Amino acid sequence: MDLMTMLQSQLSDDVLQQLSQQVGAPPAQTASAANGIFAALLGGLAGNAASSQNGLQSLIMALDRDHDGSILDDLGEIIGAMASGNQPASNALNGAGILSHILGDRQETVAQQVAQSSGLTTQQVMRLLPLLAPVVMAVLGRARQSGQLDMGGLLQTLLGSAQSAQSSGYGDLIGTLLSDALAGQQGQQPQQGGGLLGSLLGGLFGKR
C-alpha cells in the first residue's frame, strides 16, 4: 500500500481549486506544494511511530478515536469550510493540532523547504499545512477502518510510503524528519539528508 499515491489521488480538480483559492496560487504550484506537504507528513508520522512503541500506539489510538476517513467523501467542500472557519469543532478537522503532534516545532522548517521546491511562499505553504494534515489522517483512518492496517502493518506501511515519497523530490526533507526522530532512539546525533533514508529504513526493517 503506497500512501503517497493514495494521498495524491485526493487532489481532484475541485480540491485543488479550493486549495489554490485559499493560497492565491496556480493549481500546478499548489499541487506541487501539496505533494511536498504529504511527503513531509508521512516522514514525520513514520519517524514518530518508529521512534517508540508509545508513538505507534498513540497514532493507532488517534486513528481509531477520531479519524474514520469520512471527510474524504466531500473533501472539496470540507476544505472550503475549514479555510473559512465554518466547520464544526472536530478532532478530525483540527489541522493545527494534528500538525503539532506530527511535526512539532518543525512546521516552519518544513514550510520553507516545500516553498523552495514548489515556488510558493513560506506563508502560502503555512496556510496549506493545516488544510492538508487532516487529509493524511483521514487516508490512514480509512485504510485502518477497512482492516488493512494493524499495528505492525501501519508501521511498515508508513516507512515504505516515506521511502517511496523520495521520488516526489523531497527526499532530503523526509530523511531529516526521520533521522531527527530515530537518532534519539538509537543514541546517535541527528543527521541530515535524504541519502540517509534508505539506511534508516533498512535498519528498522532489519529489526522487525
Bigger pLDDT: 87 vs 50: 50
Q: Is the pLDDT of residue 147 over 60?
A: yes
pTM for the whole thing?
0.86
The whole-angstrom separation of Cα 167 and Cα 169 is 5
Ranges of beta strands (E only) in the chain are: none
Bigger pLDDT: 122 vs 189: 122
The whole-angstrom separation of Cα 94 and Cα 130 is 8
At 165-197, the pLDDT tens digits run: 776 677 778 877 777 766 654 444 444 444 444
CA torsion 61→80→104→112, rounded to 10°?
140
Written as one letter, the residue type at 97 is G
